[in-house]
């Protein structure tokens, strides 16, 4: 799902019937005609200008592009790697995780052409995030227990991945602390309930924090000045102030 706040619309993928639904948030009503895309659509991203919607199609190894003005799909889908998943935009480019081929594809958002060479990352890449302060892209690799770092200037992966532990999943890069940017990596092992915290200035793990992630009784979760993360099949809230205090405590004897 993705929210186009400029046009007051929400885009939702329908995995089983290969379409995207559009909801008008002004009236909370679905548009009558769904948009046909590729096979088994999964994730959505909106470009920086809000003009185009990008949809990964896991079943066909493609990315569909929808014109946000008229909600029509562009004629030709973009072929990427095997089992494309999460995607994000940064600096006029769309970065697409290919879980089945252990790569990241880069699409030029101006002409919607894929760069010739995909970027090799770790085993079973899962999630992706952007650190705009340091011009870097972070990718969690579930199969290898690592995080890959891509230099967004030249789209080259750093030589050494960051070891974080078993089954890293979702990733968050908040903007609460411009002076101390941290990368939060949730582990998807059911018995773990941990988050690894990476210092993006050094690309080293600063702390491993254990959280109580028992399912809340209420279906509504409100995070005030906190980080939303997907852990153990639920959304949890992480308080960045408490995490920062813990990290500083670990660093200072």
Instruction: Look up the pTM and report it.
Output: 0.84
Q: For residue 248, what are the contacts with CB-CB under 8 A and spacing of at least 6?
A: none
First and final C-alpha spacing in the chain: 44
Cβ atoms of residues 125 and 139 within 8 Å? yes
Q: How many CA atoms lie within 13 A of 219 on its CB side?
A: 0
Q: What is the mean pLDDT of the chain?
A: 83
State the pLDDT confidence band at 114, using cuts at 50, 70 and 90: very high
119-156 per-residue burial string, b: 16 or more CB within 10 A, e: under 16 = bebbebbbbbbbbeeeebbbbbbbebbbbbbbebeebe
pLDDT at 234 over 50: no
Single out the residue of 129, 248, 237, 124 nearest to residue 177, CA to CA: 248
pLDDT at 244 over 60: no
Domain parsing of the chain, residue ranges: 2-251
Whole-angstrom Cα distance, residue 126 to residue 194?
Answer: 17
Single out the residue of 51, 34, 53, 52 nearest to residue 43, CA to CA: 53
> 11 to each of 15, 68, 72, 179, 185, how far by Cα in Å?
13, 10, 12, 34, 26
Task: Name which of 14-28, 59-73, 95-109, 201-215 the model is least confident about.
Answer: 201-215
**Residue 40 buriedness (CB in 10 A; 0-12 / 13-18 / 19+):** middle
C-alpha 21: how far from chain center = 20
pLDDT at 188 over 70: yes
Q: Which fold has domain 2-251?
A: Methylamine Dehydrogenase; Chain H (2.130.10)
């Amino acid at each position: 799902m993705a929210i186009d706040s400029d046009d007051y619309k929400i885009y939702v993928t329908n995995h089983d019937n290969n379409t995207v639904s559009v909801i008008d948030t002004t009236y909370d009503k679905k548009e009558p005609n769904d948009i046909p895309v590729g096979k088994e659509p999964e994730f959505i991203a909106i470009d920086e200008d809000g003009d185009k919607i990008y949809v990964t199609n896991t079943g066909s190894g493609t990315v569909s592009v929808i014109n946000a003005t008229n909600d029509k799909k562009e004629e030709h889908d973009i072929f990427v790697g095997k089992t494309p998943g999460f995607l994000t935009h940064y600096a006029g480019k769309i970065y697409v995780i290919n879980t089945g081929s252990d790569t990241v594809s880069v699409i030029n958002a101006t002409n919607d052409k894929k760069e010739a060479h995909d970027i090799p990352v770790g085993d079973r890449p899962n999630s992706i995030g952007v650190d705009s302060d340091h011009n870097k892209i972070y990718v969690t690799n579930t199969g290898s227990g690592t995080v890959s770092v891509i230099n967004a200037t030249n789209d080259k992966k750093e030589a050494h991945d960051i070891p974080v532990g078993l089954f890293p999943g979702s990733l968050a890069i908040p903007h609460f602390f411009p002076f101390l940017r941290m990368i939060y990596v949730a582990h998807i092992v059911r018995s773990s309930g941990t988050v690894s915290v990476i210092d993006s200035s050094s690309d080293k793990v600063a702390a491993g924090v254990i959280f109580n992630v028992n399912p809340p009784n209420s279906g509504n979760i409100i995070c005030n000045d906190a980080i939303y993360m997907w852990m153990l099949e639920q959304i949890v809230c992480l308080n960045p102030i408490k995490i920062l205090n813990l990290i500083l405590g670990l660093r200072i004897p």
